[in-house]
Amino acid sequence: MERGLSSKTVEAYESDLTKYTNWLREAREINDVSKITQLDIEEYVRAMSSEAMSSQAMAAQRLGPRTIARRIASIHEWNKFMLSNAQIASDPSAEVKAPKQAEHLPDVLSISEVERVIDAAGGFGSTD
C-alpha cells in the first residue's frame, strides 16, 4: 500500500474518485482533468448536499457531512497527486473546504438508569 493506507481506505478513495469523475462527465461534461475548476468542485459539494441530484452517478441520494468530507479529502489527495505528476498546473481543490459537521453531545444515563446500574452491581461500599 502506498503511504501506509489500509486497503479499505484505498477502496474508499477509488470509489469516491469514480463517483466524482462520473459526475464531472455527466453533470459538467468534463473529460479532461486540466479543465476542472474550483467552481466545478464546489458544485459537486452542493450536489452531494442536496436532495435534487440529476446525475445518475449521484443516484439521487443525499449524503451526510462525514461522507462529503471524506470525498473532498479524496479529491484533495487526487489533485495533489495530479499536480505532483504535472497532470494539472494548479490544484483546483486547494480552497475547497468540507462542510462543518454538527457536534453531538454524548448520550448519558438517566438518574433511574444509574440507580439500576448501582443496584445491579450491589450498591456502593466494599466488595467483602
Looking at the 3D structure of the chain, how many domains does it have? Answer: 1
pLDDT of amino acid 1? 42
Does residue 64 form part of some domain? yes
Across the range 23-28, mean pLDDT stands at 95
Does residue 125 form part of some domain? no
**How far is 10 from 121, CA to CA, in rounded Å?**
45
pLDDT tens-digit profile of 57-116?
A: 455 567 888 889 999 999 999 999 999 999 999 999 999 988 777 777 888 889 999 999
Mean pLDDT value across the chain:
85
Does residue 36 form part of some domain? yes
Provide the residue range defining the domain that includes 58.
2-101
Does residue 45 form part of some domain? yes
Across the range 112-128, mean pLDDT stands at 78
**How far is 5 from 16, CA to CA, in rounded Å?**
15
The helix/strand/coil state of 80 is helix
Q: The CATH number of the domain where 41 resides is what?
A: 1.10.150.130
Does residue 28 form part of some domain? yes
Nearest CA among 71, 74, 89 for reference residue 32: 89
Calculate the alpha carbon distances from 5 to 11, 14, 62, 63, 97 in Å.
10, 12, 27, 24, 22
pLDDT at residue 40 greater than cutoff 90: yes
Nearest-10 Cα torsion for 6, 7, 9, 10: 120
